Amino acid sequence: MLTRIDLRDTDLTPLQLAQRLPRAALDVASALATVEPIISDVRARGAAALRDAAERLDGVRPERLRVPQQAIQSAVEGLDPAVRGALELAIAHNRAGHAAQMPSERVTRITEGGIITQRWIPVRRVGLYVPGGLAVYPSSVVMNVVAAQVAGVESVVLASPPQAEHGGLPHPTILAACGLLGVTEVYAAGGAQAIAMLAYGAGPETQADEEASAGGVLCEPVDVISGPGNVYVAAAKRAVLGDVGIDAEAGPTEIAILADASANPEYVAADLLSQAEHDPNAGSVLITDSPALADAVDAALERRLAATRHRERAARALGGAQSGVVLVRDIEQGIAVADAYAAEHLEIHTEGAPDVARRIRNAGAVFVGPYSPVPLGDYLAGSNHVLPTGGTARFAAGLSVMAYLKPVQMIEYSAQALGAMSGPLAALAQAEDLPAHAEAVGARLRGRD
């Protein structure tokens, strides 16, 4: 059922390999043309443009763009106890996982009297996007908020699409997760329009907006935007990058599984399907040196697909150009294919899985062995599920405290230490024909600063 790409007789470079591998027909670059006018409109017209876009794309015109505190409080009170317990467990696991990422300040003595200090300074204000089109993602509230809080960010604002069936507010479970984490600035805005609001801010339109505004501004711009979303959200993040920082392009979900004949085809099929249910644009790719495993996975997928709740969108995902089976001659070639594909999630189901996993260079996150499926990372593993997609894992990383921290170097030299540098510094300044640089040091050494 999955399309097969047979690379067993090929010997391709990483670039040639990347061109042969499955990718979605609608990619971030092509979605840019759709999101750019939306972003310009929000920049020009603020809240009025946010409402127009919501009406057109989310099927509701939100009365309250800034979610009232009372709605957050009621959502916490109405939360199913089992879901509350699970969210609290996810929060605890993620706090532990993210605390371990915090880098410490480091002082290095470069020379006698000359030190540099590496500081890690959190950005002041962050905008967290939580998807809410085809599915509801309270787990993405946890992933975004915990990482920002552990990094020490002062001001945290969150946006999620308005839901027609919830009076134009974000889904109550999203609001409840915000309440559990102490996030109070929440907006009913989705897609590219939400990203534009976070990047550039938005002025009020209605009396309700005026009441929720401070200093004539409904939402102040942020310094960094993080969070996952569909291809339009990923494209909007690419479009605003440069005016604001972003974590990574965390677009439509992908799973690649590197498996040999020892893999359990039921586990492989279940995991491929688990990510296909996110979005018709989601990608599920099996990389294997075993045609027999590929056949067994196909059969298991067909059976599971017929019984699954979101079979229509999962079938579109599995049948799209972004999904397939890649046949390789051995695991060595499989590792090269996995690196060229640079999956958001890569599962390893091979003999000696931990050793194979250590040889992977490009993946948003690596899930090692048969008992570490992607859905564990989606919810409770303690890792972050906001991960780079579309091959960007070649250079980008999953969400971590680092998305919100700036490494700043502090340079502190004594007069003697500066004096010891003056000769070589003058030589370099002369070589660059920038004599005023040498003079800045000379002025001090002659006591004329």
Binding site for ligand NAD (CB under 6 A): 34, 57-58, 131-135, 137, 140, 161, 190-192, 228-230, 232-233, 250-253, 278-279, 281-282, 344, 385-387, 389
- Kindly write down the DSSP assignment for every residue of 244-287, as one continuous string: BEES----S-EEEEEE-TTS-HHHHHHHHHHHHTT-TT-EEEEE
Q: Mind giving me the DSSP string for 121-153?
A: EE-SEEEEE---SSS--HHHHHHHHHHHHHHT-
- Give the residue with the Cβ less far from ligand NAD, 57 or 89: 57
Give the residue with the Cβ less far from ligand HSO, 260 or 378.
Answer: 378
**CB 260 within 8 Å of CB 289:** yes
> Is residue 137 at the binding interface for ligand HSO, with CB under 6 A as the rule?
yes
What DSSP element (H or E) covers 209?
A: helix 207-212
Of 14 and 375, which has the nearer Cβ to Zn ion?
375
Say if residue 278 carries a ligand binding annotation.
yes
Specify the stretch interacting with ligand HSO by CB under 6 A; choose among 10-18, 112-120, 133-141, 394-402: 133-141
Instruction: State the binding string over 333-372 for Zn ion (x if CB under 5 A, else -).
Output: ----------------------------------------
Q: In what order do the strands lie in the sheet with 343-349?
A: 4-6, 324-327, 283-288, 254-259, 343-349, 363-368
Binding partner selected for residue 139 from ligand HSO, ligand NAD, Zn ion, none, CB under the kind-specific 5 to 8 Å limit = ligand HSO
CA separation for the pair 19, 371 (Å, rounded): 32
The answer to whether 171 is annotated as binding is: no
Reported for 68-73, long-range contacts at CB under 8 A and 24+ positions apart, including other chains, are 69/184, 71/169, 71/175, 72/175, 72/176, 72/178, 72/179, 72/184, 72/186, 73/179
Residue 96: CB atoms within 10 A of its CB come to: 12
Give me the catalytic one of 344, 347, 349, 385. 344
Smallest gap, in angstroms, from Cβ of residue 375 to ligand HSO?
7
Contact indicator for 327, 291 with CB cutoff of 8 Å: yes
DSSP 402: G
Q: To the nearest whole angstrom, how small is the minimum distance from the Cβ of residue 299 to ligand HSO?
A: 24
The DSSP annotation for 180-206 comes to HHT--EEEE--HHHHHHHHHH-B---S
Among residues 34 and 101, whose Cβ is nearest to ligand NAD?
34
Nearer to ligand NAD, 46 or 161 (CB): 161
Q: Is 205 a catalytic residue?
A: no
d(CA 4, CA 116) in angstroms, rounded, equals 54
Binding residue for ligand HSO, selected from 275, 322, 384, 400, defined by CB under 6 A: 275
CB of 34 vs ligand NAD, minimal distance in Å: 5
Is residue 383 a contact residue for ligand HSO (CB under 6 A)?
no
Task: Give rounded-to-5 percent helix, strand, coil for the chain.
Answer: 45, 20, 35
230 assigned ligand-binding residue:
yes
* Local structure of 303: helix, strand or coil: helix
Nearer to Zn ion, 42 or 255 (CB): 255
Residue 27 interacting with ligand HSO (CB under 6 A): no
CB of 412 to ligand NAD, least distance (A): 40
User: Which has the closest alpha carbon to 400: 379, 421, 411, 386?
Assistant: 386
Nearer to ligand HSO by Cβ, of 313 and 385: the residue is: 385
- 289 marked among binding-site residues: no
Tell whether residue 209 is among the known ligand binding residues.
Answer: no
What span, in angstroms and rounded, lies between the C-alpha atoms of 283 and 255? 6
Ligand-binding site membership of 193 (annotated): yes
- The one segment of 136-144, 145-153, 167-175, 292-300 that binds ligand HSO by CB under 6 A: 136-144
- Smallest distance, Å, CB 429 to ligand NAD? 47
Q: Is 439 annotated as a binding residue?
A: no
Is residue 345 flagged as an active site residue? yes
Q: Is 129 labelled a binding residue? A: yes
Region of 1-9, 137-145, 161-169, 402-410 interacting with ligand HSO (CB under 6 A) = 137-145
Of 376, 138, 353, 160, which Cα lies nearest the Cα of 274? 376
Alpha-carbon Rg of the chain, whole angstroms? 25
| Joined tokens for residue 67 | 């979610």
Single out the segment in contact with ligand HSO by CB under 6 A; choices: 57-65, 132-140, 168-176, 437-445.
Answer: 132-140
Residue from 378, 387, 396, 441 binding Zn ion (CB under 5 A): 378
Is-contact 333 10, C-beta < 8 A?
no
Separation CA 97–CA 400 (nearest Å)? 9
Tell me how long the chain is: 449
> Of 171, 345, 349, 385, which one is the catalytic site residue?
345
Q: Which residues are annotated as a binding site for Zn(2+)?
A: 275, 278, 378, 437
Contact set with Zn ion (CB under 5 A):
378
Residues known to be catalytic? 344-345
Q: Which residues are annotated as a binding site for substrate?
A: 253, 275, 278, 345, 378, 432, 437
